[in-house]
């Protein structure tokens, strides 16, 4: 484990992204330190600056890749369901499921240490792609008249807020504190109530 030849003439950028995610999974997002990531990758504390402008840029890189995974799981869940309504619900459940299955990745989405998303255009683009999946699903529901008409983005915001709120509460352990069993499948019921609220 003392040789790191692959990194030294290979892809240190990739290694740093992997190490950052692994550290976040192991120790939590607050323990994630740039020096620690460099240490885990077997390089000096300054080596990361050859690949990322600063710590925030590294976190944004990890977050961006996480958003792609989320988008993939959302589309997979959508494609496994039939009918516009069930598909929208499947996307919502998948969002919450992603947060529970990939805690570290989800927490990194909102790491305030990333700073203004506008300064990370690749991250903003990944957000837009993911949000687009939700928009499409709602448009399909409107076409089948299982969701009421009106501004798609407004409806999407309601849906996003609901699943995002549940995911956030779960990931930050605020539900156990409030006396909920976080192991129980809370998402389907919450998503069904949401869907009822959007119905035509």
Partner DNA sequence: ACCTGAACACCGTTCAAGT
Binding site for DNA (CB under 7 A): 7-8, 12, 33-36, 43-47, 49-51, 54-56
Count of residues interacting with its own copies (CB under 8 A):
47
CA atoms of 34 and 36, how far apart (whole Å): 5
> How far, in Å, CA of 94 to CA of 137, rounded?
13
Span 1-40, contacts to its own copies by CB under 8 A: 28-30
Helix (H) or strand (E) holding 162: helix 152-171
* Backbone phi, psi, residue 29, to 5°: -65, -25
200 binds its own copies (CB under 8 A): no
* Residue from 57, 99, 106, 162 binding its own copies (CB under 8 A): 162
Asked if residue 175 binds its own copies (CB under 8 A), the reply is yes
Cα 196 to Cα 79: distance, rounded to the nearest angstrom: 21
Subset of residues 44 to 83 that bind its own copies, contact rule: CB under 8 A: none
Using the minimum distance from each CB to DNA, give the nearer residue, 48 or 92.
48
DSSP, res 31: G
Chosen residue from 3, 5, 82, 112 binding its own copies by CB under 8 A: 112
């Amino acid at each position: 484990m003392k040789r790191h030849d692959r990194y030294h003439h290979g892809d240190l950028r990739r290694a740093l992204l992997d190490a950052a995610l692994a550290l976040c999974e192991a120790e939590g997002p607050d323990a994630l330190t740039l020096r620690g990531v460099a240490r885990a990758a077997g390089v000096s504390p300054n080596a990361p600056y050859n690949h990322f402008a600063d710590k925030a840029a590294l976190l944004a890189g990890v977050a961006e890749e996480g958003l792609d995974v989320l988008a993939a799981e959302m589309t997979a869940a959508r494609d496994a369901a039939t009918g516009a309504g069930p598909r929208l619900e499947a996307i919502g459940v998948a969002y919450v499921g992603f947060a529970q299955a990939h805690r570290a990745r989800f927490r990194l989405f909102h790491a305030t240490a990333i700073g203004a998303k506008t300064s990370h255009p690749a991250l903003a683009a990944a957000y837009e792609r993911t949000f687009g999946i939700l928009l499409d699903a709602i448009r399909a529901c409107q076409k089948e008249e299982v969701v009421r008409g009106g501004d798609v983005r407004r409806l999407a915001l309601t849906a996003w807020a609901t699943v995002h709120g549940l995911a956030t509460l779960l990931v930050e352990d605020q539900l156990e504190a409030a006396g909920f069993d976080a192991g129980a499948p809370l998402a389907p019921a919450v998503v069904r109530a949401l869907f009822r609220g959007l119905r035509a």
